[in-house]
Structure 1
Amino acid sequence: MDNVLAGVWRTLTGGSLPPVSLTGDDSVLPGPFRVPTVATASVAVATLAAAEMLRLRGIEPGTVAVDSRHAAASFASERLLRIDGNPGPGPWGPIAGDYHAADGWIKLHCNTSRHEAAVCWALGVPATREAVAKTVAAKTVAEVESAVITAGGAAAFMRSREEWRAHPQGQAVAELPLVQLERIGDAPPRTLFESARPLGGVRVLELTHVLAGPVAGRVLAAHGANVLHVGAAHLPRIPTLTMDTGQGKRSAYVALDTEGGRAKLKKLIARADVLVQSFRPGALARLGFGPEELAELRPGLVTADLSAYGWTGPWARRRGFDSLVQMSSGIAEENAADAPAPLPVQALDHATGWLTAAAVMTALHRTVTEGGTWRAQLSLAGTGAWLDSLGRTEATASAADFSDLLEDVDSDFGRMTRVRMPGVLPGAPPQWDHPTHRPGSDTAVWSPVSAGTSVGAASPAHPG
């Protein structure tokens, strides 16, 4: 695991791996893919990045430690969540799932009414499994995928690893780094408000949905960031994921399809330190918030852009999710027998979220030490390529017991059982200041940050 982590740390920072303690192995989750290794390395790289932020404040962080069982539990957090002892509602609609077409398998991703309506319109069927299965069985997987994507839905047919590597998008992903972090504008070095936590006083604006982006915000909140999640009242939500990933954040609604909403967003960005967004590539730019506009609006901003299939190639703008990327890239096909064989957890989502948090903290470190406006780009497909590159394990896992890694808190939804934040950071143990708020229950303004002694050089982090 150390070599895997060292490679990710080098990709992210260009430096050698700091002291770290990694325990456990790949036997904590079933399947041949080295998902526990990816989980451990992802949690570790983010915790190490937090340690560097703490050191920047003059606080000795101590030795970072990560156990693979705890990391794996965090990758299954939405499945382990309980409200008053009961699991949250399932994320899938009645017609979601894998279907056998005339020449192979295809997954229809229908976890919202919009996705379901797109599938029914594309196939000309009512929303019943029987009707969908009958129509899909008479078509090729390529026909179904094309029809659903054209209708604005989300689908992917099962390709082999070799087919993905030969596909133009697979080739595009192969050329991209796991994390692309670049300076895109000038700004003087920033200062940090005094805090005993790595991200104390740092304002993070989160424009994300589903899982990878929200996981990133959850990690940043655990290290002290002031995270404001912005959504819209009319957009569908998946309750279990919202409850699980909203730890430590505030939640507000802003209607970005209105002039007033965009003006409000502009004000929020002008006083933010970080923007994490998972709109499809180009979507924010069409609203007037492209990379150049953001750099001009808020010099020194750190932006993290997440996508499904990468930021170049013919599928760069395609809607996608963890399970669809697994189908497209050969992961689900590798051990398929009577049906596709997915990973034991949504590893692409979770790992991308943790890597995003690490990239954000690395970029923030650079804004203090050298200044500049920074942009990070990551993708689920890129994370999948990293997982694939690690080879396979022969370790055999039995059903893991994660009960000792759970904690109970009172929340707006009832008594919540959740996975404790993984990653040991002795100098400032990560923790959430409060459980998940109900969606839209907060105002779309920044909560006050108490001024203190600044750390670093030049201008304050929050002008105005």
Structure 2
Amino acid sequence: MTPSQTLAQLWRLARLPEEALAFARLTGSDPVYPSTFAVGAAAQTTVAAAALAACELGHERGAPRQAVTVDMAHAAAECTGWFAVDGRTPELWDKFSGLYEAKDGWVRIHANFLHHREGALRLLGLDPATCERKDAEAAMRAWKAVDFETAAAERGLVATAMRTFEEWDATAQGQAVARAPLFTIDRIGDAPPLQLGHPGLDPGSMAARPDGCRIESGMTPLDGVRVVELTRILAGPVGGRALAAYGADVMLVNSPHLPNIEAIADTSRGKRSCHIDLRGSDGKAAMDALLEDAHVFIQGYRPGGIASLGYGPDEVAAKRPGIVYVSLSAYGFEGPWAGRRGFDSLVQTAMGFNLAEGESLGKPRPLPMQMLDEATGYLIAFGAATALRRQQREGGSWHVRVALAQTGQWLRSLGRIERGLDAKAPDRAQWHETSASGFGQLTAIRHSAQLSRTPARYARPSVPPGYSPPHW
């Protein structure tokens, strides 16, 4: 399919108005980065879907439709997640993260968080305080790949055996993912259409205004939309950042006792950022106060983690009828791995992408960016804007579900690029933007969706967790 056809497929899956597709302008073609997969098209079409859906919600609220232009090379560059702080590009991988040769194949370990790294090393029989990478490599050669994967999963660790596409397809989880749609948007409760107020207005006065959800032609598509975002790694933060770029007021909520990765400097552009500890009554009270005026709730923690604290989809819909609740999973919501932790690099490995990408080279090779994370992030924004539009038209509370593995299945369906590994990456400097931030001078890739009337932008600088008070 062409990128325009792929975008139309996403649009129809979301049951959005066909006439809006005429306002999408997609330029460029694969390959734009060295890959045998259509990573450029995946980046371009998910970015375009998110931006166009936000504009369609704006149109539902009274604004004229506007053109959305996305260049493929720019979108793919944005999806590399490149950034620098004070001229320094952070090292994104821990030295123990990566591929290890096992007795009968390969295993990928994700060790960016201390507890994951130490758990994996102890499972290998090593002392985390003294061992080196070479010690871990030697210890892994005594394990069968699937045995280590299984033992790690039983301990709540993050590691996976490397599979071919055919091996993945033969697993029960592969079959469950193949049966699932790319995303789902389901009504989970009754509620009247919410008032989508404008920033700076008192919530009480917004609710009293009969036109409180409408916007004028010069306002951003998501003006007055409030988003509570409970995410930490890439897909969820990318989704929240996209909503912020289209005008939403996004509150990133972190727990004060959990670590973050350095990419938070990039993915926090446009957002507020507060600390709330949901393990105590004060934290729950603060969250409930945020929910009183929220329209979207995004959560990307391990399966069941947020629900165990009292903030699953049904509980949040009961607290805030009319909410759009977005759930992110690694391996999908059905099948034996539905409760398993995972990250993009692991899902790529488990599903067969690493072996397929490196087949012509004779060695495993990851995709040139965390494409499953990035595309899923834009699908989060796409699903949230689509569900908000339905909420405005029909009322109700809504649940959007996306998963890295389902995005991987979709990416695979886009086909392969002949001689794609011969492509040369574009010069990303043409899309750099530099701004002051709470982390230092931040240089990153500006948003790739160009809106003809209300340009996408980050109205707030990136700030560290806990910088903002936990209220609107």
TM-score by length of structure 1 reads 0.93
Contact 1:307 1:378 in 2 (8 A): yes
Q: Which residue of structure 1 aligns with residue 243 of structure 2?
A: 220
Aligned to 1:299: 321
Q: 1:316 & 1:225 partners in 2: Cα distance?
A: 31
Q: Which residue of 1 aligns with 2:340?
A: 318
Give the whole-Å Cα distance in 2 for the aligned partners of 1:253 and 1:426.
36
Secondary structure in 2 matching 1:22: strand
**Paired residues of 1:61 and 1:427 also in contact (CA < 8 A):** no
Contact map agreement 2:43 2:371 (CA 8 A) in 1: yes
What does 1:244-323 correspond to in 2, within 5 Å?
244-323=266-345
Per the alignment, residue 460 of structure 1 pairs with none
Distance in 1, matches of 2:104 and 2:335, equals 26
Whole-Å separation in 1 of the counterparts to 2:182 and 2:243: 20
- Residues 400-450 of structure 1: CA deviation (Å, up to 9, x unaligned): 11111111111222221111111111121111012211111111111xxxx
Instruction: List alignment gaps of at least 5 residues for structure 1.
Output: 447-464
Q: Which residue of 2 aligns with 1:97?
A: 98
Q: Cα distance, 1:14 vs. partner?
A: 5.1
Q: 1:325-364 maps to which residues of 2 (within 5 A)? A: 325-336=347-358, 337=361, 339-364=363-388
C-alpha contact (below 8 Å) 1:96/1:110 kept by paired residues = yes
**Inter-partner Cα distance in structure 2 for 1:114 and 1:431:** 36
In structure 1, give the amino acid aligned to 2:258: L
For residues 82-231 of structure 1, the aligned pairs below 5 Å read: 82-88=84-90, 90-127=91-128, 128-193=132-197, 194-195=214-215, 196-231=219-254
List, as ranges, runs of 4+ consecutive aligned residues in structure 1 with deviation greater than 6 Å: none
How far apart are the structure 2 equivalents of 1:348 and 1:333? Answer: 16
Q: Name the CA distance, whole Å, in 1 between partners of 2:35 and 2:294.
A: 41
Match of 2:387, as an amino acid?
Answer: A
Query: Greater shift after overlay, 50-59 or 376-385?
Result: 50-59
Are positions 1:425 and 2:426 aligned together?
no
How many residue pairs get aligned? The number is 442
1:462 aligned partner: none
Following superposition, the deviation at residue 191 of structure 1 comes to 3.0
Partner of 1:66: 70
Between 122-131 and 434-443, report the one with greater CA deviation.
Answer: 122-131
In the TM superposition, what is the alpha-carbon distance from 1:63 to its structure 2 partner?
1.7
Q: Could you say if the C-alpha distance between residues 7 and 312 of structure 1 is closer, same or farther in structure 2, counting changes exceeding 3 Å?
A: same
Moved more, 188-197 or 126-135: 188-197
Maintained 8 Å contact 1:363/1:374: yes
Counterpart CA distance in 2 for 1:259 and 1:123 is: 39
Aligned position for 2:208: none
Separation in structure 1 between the aligned mates of residue 386 and residue 425 of structure 2, nearest angstrom: 36
Q: Distance in 1 between matches of 2:261 and 2:59?
A: 38
Distance 2:315 2:440 in 1: 42
- Aligned to 2:196, the other structure's residue is in SS state strand
**Is 2:16–2:386's contact at 8 Å kept on the other side of the alignment?**
no
RMSD: 1.4
- How far is the alpha carbon of 1:21 from its aligned partner? 1.1
Partners of 1:28 and 1:397 within 8 A in 2: yes
CA contact (8 A) 1:308 1:321 kept: yes
Query: CA separation in 2, counterparts of 1:286 and 1:276?
Result: 16
Structure 1 distance, partners of 2:224, 2:5, is 34
- What whole-Å deviation, never above 9, does each CA across 1:87-127 have from its counterpart, x for those lacking one? 12x13222111100010011010001011111022122023
For the 8 Å contact 1:300–1:367, the answer to whether it is kept is: yes
Task: Write the letter of the residue equivalent to 2:85.
Answer: I
Map 1:21-32 → 2, pairs under 5 A:
21-32=25-36
Whether 1:51 and 2:55 are equivalent positions in the alignment is yes
- Structure 1 position 267, deviation (Å): 2.3
Q: 1:381: how far off? A: 0.2
Displacement of 1:200 in angstroms is 1.0
CA distance in 2 between partners of 1:82 and 1:117 (Å): 28
1:342-372: CA deviation from partner (whole Å, max 9, x where unpaired): 1010000000000110110011111111111
Contact 2:275 2:470 (8 Å CA) reproduced: yes
Asked whether the equivalents of residues 60 and 427 of structure 1 are also in contact (C-alpha less than 8 Å), the reply is no
Q: Which residue of 2 aligns with 1:461?
A: none
The C-alpha deviation readout for 1:233-264, integer Å capped at 9, x for no partner, is 2211112x100100010111111222322232
The CA distance in 1 between the partners of 2:357 and 2:300, in whole Å, is 30
Task: Give the one of 396, 406, 409 matched to 2:435.
Answer: 409
Give the AA of the match of 1:272: A
Whole-angstrom distance in 2 between the partners of 1:295 and 1:423 = 31
